């Protein structure tokens, strides 16, 4: 068991919390764009909704991350954050108006912003340089396991009750409450408060000014990519446009998450052996291949195959990227550093999703998907060549 000593009690608890929360969220995520289209929402509005929701999460990630650093406390942010996300699920069952849907999505994303920096800092505190990729990879695997079970639950419901989307919003409340219950078992680790004042949320990205040059180079490249990486809701809409049924679209999403969950932990091990730089570069090249392929795909089986490959991109970048960034900052600044990355990425997603929706309505899906593929190739080439200090992980 010494081989798995890095899987501490805190890592297991945080991973189970993420599993149940993602189960709740992913019961709804692949259904949401189909549901919104069925009640008359345009592709542009769906993109704008996803972008605004992610921007709210983004602004709050940086703010609450540096607040957590100042207090030297993580657990209360995790508990309240997951609580808000659980509360948002039944809200979606009440009304189907644009304003109410936006409010419910905002509450959900505010919860994500509240918890993310503190949770990732807790995970970082449980690691050593030798196993950082493994810990983040394991957490992402468990998180994404929920993203496999959630859509499967949605599939089972829709198979029994075709077209009945809204009751799913009530059922999703159950695993959300379980996740909140598990947060009560988390213990607070002794942490050194940063002592920095808590600034207003619009100034919460001040960490960028004091960050190391290596942090700014790597995170800057990730942000350029985020400017072109629109919401996965567009992938689901494209699959529907290519002729797949609602249940087949959800099945593709399950396939994506299954690939993700099976590969995230092994790729985390590989990142510890080869370095995170190589994994990120490979992941962005996979992304470029998938988005380029999606722009050209004309059949359902081609779309389904690309969804499976897309899981490799997510597994090679999300946990690995956070693990790399956590080595480019002081330990006391981990909440602000990771929160700023997540926050600025979410703000970039607002522009990416809104712009992709406009381009789709203007020229169809080929243009936004092709631009995203080209951006991924450019960022991959930059990260492969960028020079970092020898004292930093590369």
The answer to whether position 74 is within a domain reads: yes
Task: Determine phi and psi for 308, rounding to 5 degrees.
Answer: -65, -45
Query: pTM for the complete prediction?
Result: 0.72
Task: Report whether 19 contacts 145 (CB < 8 A).
Answer: yes
For residue 178, pLDDT over 90 is answered with yes
C-alpha dihedral over 330, 278, 374, 319, to 10 degrees?
-50
Q: Are 332 and 192 in contact (CB under 8 A)?
A: yes
| C-alpha distances out from residue 361 to 291, 293, 358, Å | 18, 20, 5
Query: What string of DSSP letters covers 112-152?
Result: HHHHHHHHHHHHHHT--TTTHHHHHHHHHHHHHHHHHHHHH
State the pLDDT confidence band at 282, using cuts at 50, 70 and 90. very high
- Angle ∠(242,244,245) on CA atoms, nearest 5: 145
Tokens found for residue 381: 């080439």
Residue 199: predicted pLDDT: 61
Assign 393 a pLDDT band (cuts: 50, 70, 90): very low
pLDDT band at 2 (very low <50, low <70, confident <90, very high): low
* Tokens describing residue 69: 């650093």
Please give the pLDDT value at position 3.
Answer: 63
pLDDT value at residue 263: 83
Tokens of 51: 């972008």
Structure tokens at 55: 């921007």
**Rounded Cα distance, 158 and 38, in Å:** 14
Mean pLDDT on 74-97 = 85
- Domain at 220, CATH number: 1.20.1250.20
Q: How confident is the model at residue 379 (pLDDT cuts 50, 70, 90)?
A: very high
What pLDDT, on the 0 to 100 scale, is given for residue 376?
A: 95
CA 325, 330, 331, 334 dihedral sign is negative
Query: Does residue 64 sit within a domain?
Result: yes
Alpha-carbon distance of 273 to 257, in angstroms, equals 24
For residue 269, is it within any domain? yes
How many angstroms separate the CA atoms of 31 and 35, rounded? Answer: 6
Tell me the pLDDT tens digit for each residue of 303-337.
888 998 998 998 888 777 777 887 888 777 776 77
Q: Is residue 17 part of a domain?
A: yes
pLDDT above 60 (res 391) = no
Q: Is the pLDDT of residue 45 over 70?
A: yes
Which whole number is the average pLDDT over 224-236?
88
Give me the pLDDT at residue 254, please.
84
| pLDDT confidence of residue 40 | 72
**CA–CA distance from 65 to each of 4, 70, 201, 279 (Å)?**
29, 9, 10, 26
Q: Is 263 exposed, middle or buried (0-12, 13-18, 19+ CB in 10 A)?
A: buried
Domain assignment present for residue 192? The answer is no
Q: Is residue 53 part of a domain?
A: yes
**Would you say residue 394 lies in a domain?**
no
Residue 299: burial class (beta carbons within 10 Å; 0-12, 13-18, 19+): exposed
Whether pLDDT at 233 is above 50: yes
1: pLDDT strictly greater than 60: no
Only one residue has tokens 């919104």, namely: 36
Q: Could you count the other beta carbons within 10 Å of the beta carbon of residue 302? A: 14
Contact 189, 122 (CB under 8 A): yes
- Please say whether the beta carbons of 23 and 153 come within 8 A: yes
With 70 as the cut, is the pLDDT of residue 37 above it? yes
pLDDT in tens, 239-266: 888 888 878 888 888 888 888 878 877 8
Contact call for residues 72 and 191 (beta carbons, < 8 A): yes
The chain-wide mean pLDDT, for the chain, equals 81
Element holding 197 (H helix, E strand): none
Number of domains within the chain: 1
Q: Is the pLDDT of residue 52 over 90?
A: no
The domain of 272 spans 7-185+201-385
Q: Report the distance separating Cα 330 and Cα 103, nearest Å.
A: 36
DSSP H or E run through 276:
helix 276-296
**81 lies in a domain?**
yes
Closest CA relative to residue 345, chosen from 321, 312, 316, 371: 321
**Token pair in block for residue 321:** 């990227």
Using the predicted structure, report yes or no on whether residue 127 has a pLDDT greater than 80: no
């Amino acid at each position: 068991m010494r081989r798995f000593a890095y899987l501490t009690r805190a890592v297991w608890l945080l991973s189970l919390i993420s599993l149940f929360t993602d189960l709740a969220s992913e019961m709804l995520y692949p259904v949401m764009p189909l549901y919104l289209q069925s009640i008359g929402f345009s592709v542009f509005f769906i993109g704008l909704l996803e972008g605004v929701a992610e921007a709210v999460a983004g602004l709050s990630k940086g703010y609450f991350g540096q607040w957590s650093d100042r207090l030297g406390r993580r657990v209360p942010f995790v508990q309240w954050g997951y609580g808000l996300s659980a509360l948002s699920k039944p809200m979606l069952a009440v009304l189907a108006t644009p304003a109410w849907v936006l409010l419910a999505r905002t509450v959900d994303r505010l919860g994500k912003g509240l918890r993310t920096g503190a949770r990732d800092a807790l995970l970082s505190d449980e690691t050593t340089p030798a196993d950082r990729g493994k810990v983040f990879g394991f957490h992402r695997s468990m998180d994404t396991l929920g993203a496999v079970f959630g859509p499967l639950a949605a599939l089972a419901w829709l198979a029994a009750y075709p077209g009945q989307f809204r009751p799913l919003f009530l059922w999703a409340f159950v695993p959300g409450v379980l996740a909140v219950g598990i947060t009560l078992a988390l213990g607070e680790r002794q942490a050194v408060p940063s002592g920095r004042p808590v600034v207003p949320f619009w100034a919460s990205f001040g960490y960028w000014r004091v960050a190391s040059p290596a942090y700014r180079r790597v995170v800057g490249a990730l942000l350029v990519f985020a400017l072109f990486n629109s919401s996965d809701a567009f992938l689901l809409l494209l699959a529907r446009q290519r002729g797949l049924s609602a249940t087949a679209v959800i099945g593709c999403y399950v396939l994506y998450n299954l690939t993700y969950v099976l590969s995230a932990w092994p790729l985390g091990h590989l990142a510890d052996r080869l370095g995170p730089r190589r994994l990120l570069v490979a992941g962005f090249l996979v992304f470029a291949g998938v988005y380029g392929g999606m722009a050209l795909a004309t059949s359902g089986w081609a779309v389904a195959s690309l969804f499976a490959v897309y899981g490799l991109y997510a597994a090679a970048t999300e946990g690995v990227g956070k693990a790399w960034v956590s080595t480019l900052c002081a330990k006391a600044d981990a909440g602000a550093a990771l929160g700023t990355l997540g926050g600025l990425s979410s703000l970039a997603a607002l522009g990416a999703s809104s712009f992709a929706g406009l381009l789709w309505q203007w020229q169809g899906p080929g243009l936004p998907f092709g631009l995203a593929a080209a951006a991924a190739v450019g960022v991959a080439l930059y990260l492969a060549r960028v020079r970092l200090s020898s004292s930093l992980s590369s």
